[in-house]
Structure 1
Amino acid sequence: MLELQDLKDFSIHRWYEPFKHIALQTVLLELPEVVVDKLKSDDSDTDVAEVCPVEFMGALKNVINNLDNNAFVKNNWHAPMDAKMFSFGNELKVTNVNDLFLYLTTSNIIAEDFSSQQSSIPFYLALKPWKSIHPASEFRCIVINNVLRGITPRDWPTYYAHFKDEGPLIIDTLTNFFKENILGRFPRKHYIFDVIMSYPDQPSIVDFGPINSKTNLYAFSWREISPLINKDSPEEVAPIFRYLDSDIGIMTKADAIYKIANAFT
């Protein structure tokens, strides 16, 4: 579970507006208290839709309709990825309010967020246009002491042959994107941000998140990253883009890191 300050700093309703111009289009709807209470409870006798105020239900339907009945939903911090099994085609696509509430009520990820009981933080739904995104275009960027230190594919460990040739371009593009749009504008000095890169467009922000021992660092490990957090190193360094440089078959993340990890200093 996220700490209180993490809940505040990494809530999409806090960071979206300042980075709206470089983020995926998102519509934010604050959840009424009665809906939050229902989502926090284990009472299954009443459907979530039945407790929704008429105004909120109308606004929700209108947003989904404006997104062509093809939307992606998350709360302030997470998407209900563990509810994919309940979606058509395992895509987690929202076509109506029934889809949306099904994903929210069957997701343990969402339940954990709602169980935080932090009344000082309003709960939101974040709805985005549905996009079919190639997994090779998704990257996680690791920022330590306001320096971009690591770049990793989110689809790890999967081999993509073009990374070898395009690696320098990926590094340059994400480094410039970070310096021009994010550096000095995000309230933390250690964090991760996720992007989608679709040439020739500039990268688009998907999310921001904290760095801790529970963060999925994909091609990197917490054991590598942790010492850097405690080391004040504001000097300029080029980020490491770590990816599989050969097709070594199916393996675990630990096996992949063991095979290709270099010193990360």
Structure 2
Amino acid sequence: MKKEQVEHCQFSVWYPIFKQHTIKSLILPLPQNVIDYLLDDGTLVVSGSDRVAQQTQINNDSDAEEDIQWSDDETTTTVTAPEFPEFTAEVLEAINALGGLVFPKLNWSAPRDANWIALNCSLECHSLSDIFLLFKSSDFITHDLTQPFRHCNDKDSPDPIINYELVLRKWSELIPGGEFRCFVKENKLIAISQRDYTQYYPHILKQEESIVHAIEDFFNRRIQYNFLDEDFVLDVYRDSQGRVWLIDLNPFGEVTDSLLFSWEELTSGGEITQQQEGPIFRYTTSEVTVQPSPCLSYRIPRDFVDLSTGEDAYKLIDFLKLKKSQQEESDDEEADTPE
């Protein structure tokens, strides 16, 4: 996997090429102060209302005491939640243009490892604070911002200049059993894997032939030879009517989860890369073979470990203040609703 291949898989690179075959999305440049905020461990989220800055008072002498003490004396320091008024306005305008609910991601990754922290355990967002809560809790997002070329084999070459962007995708209710990951080598579709292999979906077994045919037809007509590289990975969705849609494009290498395959068999020149009859299709065939989700390991994050040892109370404070603010907003909306 080359750095150039990773660069080509940025959303803003492939989206204009395949715009007609994927979900409607908007791309916003990510200001440097927002990037700095996302990488800052000092605070977790901005104010939950996206309108009013919140303040937290923390005792400067807390290091010398076993517990954090709250007081109004002169020894306290005021920590103000950051504000991004212009960026906030742009994001809210984009969210409204996409129907009020969006799926957020950066240049490459979505914060799938952080859905545990959302109130509904979903990546569905309706405000900037929703997005920040997910991004600040995601190792996938941190990877995008700090080491996107980590697994490339041309490490000695200079890193491409990356202009980071916030991608907002119109929220769509996708059934996990309709998602598939496709592996393309030398512009040939060599393998297809069930995307959510942690569950058994009976319809996949029954529709195996039609699923493969639909994906092959979509690849041959819409994707093949149209992308900038000949080796890549694409995620697709097959809807209830049998139509196939492009969801994402990923680099052909270890940075991308190989799911029910291994990267060794995908790249070694063995059965998968040499067979000519069509792609190999793998899926969970029964409940007995169901595997645990790899994202489960992210559900006890380092932030909570820090909290348990008393090393970082800032994040819990900001998290609780966000939840309180969201609850107050919900109560206000209910009070304003006519009976």
Tell me, yes or no, whether TM beats 0.5.
Answer: yes
- Identify the match of residue 112 of structure 2 among 81, 84, 87: 81
Aligned residue in 1 for 2:8: 9
Task: State the shift of 1:44 in Å.
Answer: 3.2
Q: Kindly indicate whether the alpha-carbon contact (under 8 Å) linking 2:3 and 2:160 is maintained by their aligned counterparts in 1.
A: no
The 1:187–1:83 alpha-carbon spacing in structure 2 relative to 1, beyond 3 Å, is same
- Identify the match of residue 208 of structure 2 among 144, 167, 172: 167
Aligned residue in 1 for 2:302: none
Q: Kindly indicate whether the alpha-carbon contact (under 8 Å) linking 1:140 and 1:153 is maintained by their aligned counterparts in 2.
A: yes
AA at the equivalent of 2:4: Q
- Identify the match of residue 89 of structure 2 among 58, 74, 93: 58
The 1:51–1:137 alpha-carbon spacing in structure 2 relative to 1, beyond 3 Å, is same
1:45-194 equivalences under 5 Å are 47=46, 50-52=82-84, 54-116=85-147, 120-194=161-235
The 1:164–1:86 alpha-carbon spacing in structure 2 relative to 1, beyond 3 Å, is closer
Aligned residue in 2 for 1:248: 288
* Paired residue secondary structure (2:36): helix
AA at the equivalent of 1:244: T
Q: Kindly indicate whether the alpha-carbon contact (under 8 Å) linking 1:142 and 1:149 is maintained by their aligned counterparts in 2.
A: yes
Q: Which runs of 5+ in 1 are unaligned?
A: 254-265
Task: State the shift of 1:77 in Å.
Answer: 0.4
1:84-125 Cα offsets, whole Å, 9 max, x none, are 122111012112111111111221211121113967111111
| Alignment partners' CA distance in 2, 1:120 and 1:252 | 37
AA at the equivalent of 1:71: V
1:205-216 equivalences under 5 Å are 205-216=246-257
Are positions 1:27 and 2:67 aligned together?
Answer: no
| Alignment partners' CA distance in 2, 1:218 and 1:249 | 14
**Structure with larger Rg:** 2
The 1:43–1:143 alpha-carbon spacing in structure 2 relative to 1, beyond 3 Å, is same
Q: Kindly indicate whether the alpha-carbon contact (under 8 Å) linking 1:147 and 1:237 is maintained by their aligned counterparts in 2.
A: no
1:166-210 Cα offsets, whole Å, 9 max, x none, are 111111111110011111111111111001110326211111111
The 1:232–1:222 alpha-carbon spacing in structure 2 relative to 1, beyond 3 Å, is closer
The 1:250–1:18 alpha-carbon spacing in structure 2 relative to 1, beyond 3 Å, is closer
Q: CA RMSD in A?
A: 2.7
| Count of residues paired in the alignment | 249
| Alignment partners' CA distance in 2, 1:70 and 1:175 | 31
| Alignment partners' CA distance in 2, 1:81 and 1:237 | 34
Aligned residue in 1 for 2:313: none
* Paired residue secondary structure (2:90): helix
* Paired residue secondary structure (1:228): coil
| Alignment partners' CA distance in 2, 1:105 and 1:111 | 8
Task: State the shift of 1:8 in Å.
Answer: 1.1
Q: Kindly indicate whether the alpha-carbon contact (under 8 Å) linking 2:101 and 2:124 is maintained by their aligned counterparts in 1.
A: yes
| Alignment partners' CA distance in 2, 1:247 and 1:104 | 33
1:20-62 Cα offsets, whole Å, 9 max, x none, are 010111111111222223323444399497352x433211111
Task: State the shift of 1:131 in Å.
Answer: 2.1
| Alignment partners' CA distance in 2, 1:75 and 1:3 | 20
Percent identity for Structure 1 against Structure 2: 28
* Paired residue secondary structure (2:182): strand
| Alignment partners' CA distance in 2, 1:35 and 1:119 | 21
Q: Which runs of 5+ in 2 are unaligned?
A: 51-81, 149-158, 294-339
